[in-house]
Amino acid sequence: MNRLVLALVFLCSLLSVVCCRGSYPTSAPAQSPAPVLAAPTQPVVVCPQITLSPTWPLPSLAPLTFPPPTPTPTESSWMCAPGTLDESMPSAGKDRQFRLHIPPSYRSDQPIPLIINLHGTGAYAEGQEQYTGMSSLADRESFIVVYPQGLGETPAWDLEPGEQNIDIAFIRDLISLLENRCAIDLTRIYATGMSNGGGMTNRLGCELSDRIAAIAPVAGAYAYFGVCPISRPVPVIAFHGDADESAPYEGTGSPELLNVNLGICPPIYYWAATWALRDGCASRPAVIYQKQGVLGEAWQGCNDGAEVILYTLTGTGHIWPGSSLLPGEPSIINASELIWAFFEKHAISP
């Protein structure tokens, strides 16, 4: 018996390369990525301060495994026809989703406007469609509306400027896809969005001013707002409650960090006045609406017929004014209706 045990031990020592190698990492583990930040509790703070946790996961002692290769996203085949459909497309190596609504009046030989409508943090394309009521408005006014879907377990849009932003690439690719599939008036492509989607709307106005004719953010959080390489004056209409706790009307953080820290957002009036400065508008706005706690101010006389309009809602929080899903009495103004009326006046000059 002892001889058998010794024989087995000797045999295992000879085969140790086969028996043992691969059971543990043979080199130091690669540096772990920065931990994903937990989703903020309600109310959603759309300009969170970024802090990194010092806690890192321990290296695994399990055998090394290799996941199967990620398949390359492929573009699905669909027809541009009246109705609503949920589709996907490849962009920046990822599979991106969107909801598309085409009005009953659509004809393939008659190009019509396109509105890009962006959800907020933790929301979804379908919910944005219901919250804004814009598909019903599209049916009445004859335009196409697309609701892109953000990435992540808590879906959100990346507000950082620059070519490395895959969400900007996604929207540019989405416009190109719809241009190829649908009859779209390329001089009348617009963007709107709520909260973090409002911040992304602002970013699209800056980064895609060659494609986006006008923007309409609602309750937006405008991180990195000063980095804005526009190629033409961009008309802007915006809505914001002065009691908004998620995207505070008075802004957040230190002004000197406005363009270097995601957690810093400007005061809303300052943000609107800066757009007026970019567009070459008059230095002071004119009051165009004042009723029941709603103040509308417009910077006019801008270059190329642009204008900047800001609606401030007294005592109002983080909402889309006029949404039928809001409890209580409806808002004195309807953001979706006013947005479309504004968009109708503005197009990119050929």
pLDDT in tens, 30-47: 333 333 333 333 344 445
Is the pLDDT reported for residue 315 higher than 90? yes
Q: Please report the pLDDT score of residue 254 as a whole number.
A: 87
Closest listed residue to residue 298, CA positions, set 241, 338, 326: 338
Domain spans, the chain: 83-344
Q: Higher confidence at residue 263 or residue 84?
A: 84
Give 280-307 pLDDT, tens digit per residue: 999 999 999 999 999 999 999 999 999 9
Beta strands in 107-183, from DSSP E residues, in sequence order: 112-118, 144-148
- Across the beta sheet with 184-194, the strand order is 83-91, 94-102, 144-148, 112-118, 184-194, 214-218, 236-241, 308-313, 294-299, 286-291
Per-residue pLDDT band for 345 (boundaries 50, 70, 90) equals very high
- What's the gap between Cα 65 and its chain centre? 35
Given a cut of 70, is residue 155 above it in pLDDT?
yes
Residue 7 — pLDDT band, cuts 50, 70, 90? very low
d(CA 105, CA 44): 38
Model pTM score = 0.80
CA–CA distance, 136 with 104 (Å, rounded to integer)? 11
Please check the confidence at residue 72 and state whether its pLDDT lies above 90: no
**CATH code reported for the domain at 83-344:** 3.40.50.1820
Lowest mean pLDDT among 20-24, 173-177, 218-222, 297-301: 20-24
